[in-house]
Every structure is written in C-alpha cells, then in structure tokens.
C-alpha cells in the first residue's frame, strides 16, 4: 500500500464514527456530480457602471485545481470526498459563477471571461485560496471559501484595489449533499461581496 493510500484509509477510519461521509471510492463507480450557483440577491437600485470588465481564471493551490471536492482534517492536510465531484475544476467553476454574479447584479453590461475578445477597462484577477470542507470537531464540517482579488486598470495594468472575501458555513449534516449546500451558501457570500467591492472600486 502506498503512503497516499495509507493516509486516505486512516482519514476514512477517523471520519467513520461521525456520520455518512466516505473518503474511500467505490470500485468502478462514476462520481456523483455537484454544481454550485451564482449569487443573485443584489439590491435593485444600486448604481450602474459603464466600464467593461474581464474576469480571469482564479489562481489556486494545486490541491484545489481539481474537480474533486476537497476536505481538510488539519491545517496541513487535504483529502477529497469519494464518489463525488464538482461539474468542473474549482477555479473554472468559480470564474463562471463570478461572471454570472456580475450579470445578475444588473449593474454592468460588458462582462466576460478574460479569454474572450473584449476591449476591457478593468481585469479582475481572483485567487481561490481556500475551497474545502473543514473538519474541526466531531460534528459536520464547515465549508470555507477564501476568494481574494485584484482589480487591474487597463491598459496601464495598474492594480487599483485589492480585496479578500473569507466566508464559512457549517453543513447541516455530515453528508456530501449537505456539505455542497454549505459550499453554495459560503460561495454566495463571497461572490456577492466580491461583486459589490469590484463595482465600487472601479467607480
């Protein structure tokens, strides 16, 4: 047995008494896919901006640059839920939801991914520093999202503002579907905060 396999087995054994989550993959079983949703509950009367924005793909640690749903049982370890995955790599997923959240705000017309041809006034450069379920006790985990961002003025390529949205939501149960719901809530908070900050900073 490899060192990685031993760590995974030990993590699963440590988790087993607390509930229904499994870290051990079932043989030849395709993972269940989960998706998250964009923020949409923005104030109706917020000021509109006329400038154009491109959203870059978030930078992230290698352990989070995956479609696997990450979990942490200590500050120095990362594992993944078995038989469950996001419907895209986490950085690409967050990029798409950022774009959708800006659109849902109703405050900006020209918004796109950085890879698209758009004459941008600003580029948003996000960094996904945390995106994992944290087991810090005997109960259900807490979904933690830390989304940092820089707003870059173009064509000067000058950073005009920085922001960090650090949110957390405890899952209602120690099940993957409940953990995903907690991720959705925590990510909504981070997306709303980032959108509001960027639109104000760009003014």
Measured distance CA(42)–CA(36) in Å, rounded: 18
CA angle 177, 183, 186 (to 5 degrees): 145
Compute the mean pLDDT over every residue in the chain, rounded to the nearest whole number. Answer: 88
Measured distance CA(94)–CA(40) in Å, rounded: 15
More reliable by pLDDT, 47 or 15: 47
pLDDT value of position 26: 57
pLDDT value of position 24: 55
Name the CATH superfamily, with its identifier, for domain 50-202. Answer: ABC-type transport auxiliary lipoprotein component (3.40.50.10610)
Q: What is the pTM of this model?
A: 0.85
Measured distance CA(10)–CA(17) in Å, rounded: 13
| Annotated domain spans of the chain | 50-202
pLDDT above 60 (res 109): yes
pLDDT value of position 183: 98
Measured distance CA(135)–CA(142) in Å, rounded: 7
pLDDT in tens, 179-192: 999 999 999 999 99
Cβ distance 58 to 126 under 8 Å? Answer: yes
What integer is the mean pLDDT of 144-167? Answer: 97
Cβ distance 167 to 186 under 8 Å? Answer: yes
């Amino acid at each position: 047995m490899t060192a990685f396999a031993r760590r995974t087995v030990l993590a699963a054994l440590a988790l087993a008494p607390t509930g229904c989550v499994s870290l051990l993959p079932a043989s030849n079983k395709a993972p269940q896919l989960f998706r998250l949703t964009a923020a949409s509950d923005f104030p109706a009367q917020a000021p509109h901006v006329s400038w154009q924005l491109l959203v870059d793909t978030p930078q992230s640690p290698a352990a989070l640059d995956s479609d696997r749903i990450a979990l942490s049982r200590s500050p120095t370890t990362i594992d993944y839920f078995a038989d469950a995955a996001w419907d895209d790599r986490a950085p690409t997923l967050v990029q798409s939801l950022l774009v959708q959240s800006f659109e849902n705000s109703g405050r900006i017309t020209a918004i796109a991914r950085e890879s698209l041809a758009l004459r941008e006034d600003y580029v948003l450069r996000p960094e996904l520093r945390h995106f994992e379920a944290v087991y810090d006790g005997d109960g259900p985990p807490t979904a933690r999202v830390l989304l940092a961002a820089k707003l870059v003025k173009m064509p000067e390529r000058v950073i005009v503002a920085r922001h960090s949205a650090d949110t957390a939501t405890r899952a209602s149960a120690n099940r993957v579907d409940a953990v995903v719901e907690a991720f959705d809530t925590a990510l909504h908070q981070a997306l709303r905060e980032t959108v509001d900050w960027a639109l104000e900073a760009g003014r």
